[in-house]
Amino acid sequence: MSRTSIVAGNWKMHGSRAENASLIEAIAAQFPSTPQAECVVCPPFVYLQEVARLVRDAEIPVALGAQDVCAEGQGAYTGEVSAAMLKDVGCGYVIVGHSERRMGYGEDDPLVARKFAAAQAKGLIPILCVGEQLSEREAGRTHEVVSRQLDAALELCGVEAFARAVVAYEPCWAIGTGHNATPEQAEEVHRFIRGRIGARNAKIAAEARILYGGSVKAGNAGELFTQPDVDGGLIGGASLKADEFLAILAAARR
């Protein structure tokens, strides 16, 4: 099964208009003429439109993603941003259920599943983040946690929805810590995720892209990406440095 890998940069709450322009300029200056993977950048909401313009002007095939979306369609939801708005400013992707939102902003599985559905309803591809905390891994509960997170979206939206979705396995203990999962640890969970989707539909599971996230750098991307069920990465800190991000993109396989 050949799946086109994805390398997505989650800028988190970093950047400024000037920094974004420098970063896109530096990425564009060395962007490969035949990239091995789809490339996505996910800036903060306020910069989406500007980054869309920067990418368009630089004429590089980089897709735009948001870091979150409101589960509701429109209305009196102060401070929220809808899927239709994200689509309107040029997003193709949106991250849902990042652990920083689950842990810091109380997002639970049902809410994340509704965000997943809201994104798809407007034609965005959700990047559904799943992953266990260190204590859960140590207690041998990784599969249980990941299943629960995955099943919420599978049950609300059906397995067919995963034909137009991406899953990102991001073990919480590996995020921003410099301690990435080993390639074997990542592969083991990715295989489990694919199996869980595959129990409902083997073809959709075989075609689903499952990204790894958590301290991916130029130095470890190659060994992570050669694992058979790792179809690219969701990159935090290293996506803010053009050289690192491009090296990670170069490490992705088709």
The site for ligand 13P (CB under 6 A) is made up of 10, 98, 170, 175-176, 213-216, 234-238
Q: Which of 38, 136, 170, 187 is catalytic?
A: 170
Q: Using an 8 Å Cβ cutoff, are 169 and 212 in contact? A: yes
Looking at the Cβ atoms of 73 and 176, the one nearer to ligand 13P is 176
| Helix locations, 97-217, DSSP H | 99-104, 109-121, 134-138, 142-157, 183-198, 202-207
Q: How far is the CB of 242 from ligand 13P (least distance, A)?
A: 15
Q: How far is the CB of 180 from ligand 13P (least distance, A)?
A: 8
Residue at shortest CB range from ligand 13P: 236
Q: Which of 38, 98, 100, 136 is catalytic?
A: 98
Looking at the Cβ atoms of 45 and 58, the one nearer to ligand 13P is 45
Which is nearest to 183 in space by CA: 145, 218, 225?
A: 225
Q: Helix or strand or coil: residue 81?
A: coil
Q: What is the CA radius of gyration of the chain?
A: 17
Looking at the Cβ atoms of 98 and 114, the one nearer to ligand 13P is 98
What are the residues whose beta carbons fall under 8 Å from the beta carbon of 196, sequence distance 6 or more? 146, 147, 150, 151, 154
170 is catalytic: yes
Identify the residue whose tokens are 């810091």.
104
Q: How far is the CB of 239 from ligand 13P (least distance, A)?
A: 7
Looking at the Cβ atoms of 43 and 214, the one nearer to ligand 13P is 214
Q: How far is the CB of 13 from ligand 13P (least distance, A)?
A: 12
Which is nearest to 15 in space by CA: 249, 239, 244?
A: 239
Q: Using an 8 Å Cβ cutoff, are 35 and 67 in contact? A: no
Query: Which residue numbers are catalytic?
Result: 98, 170
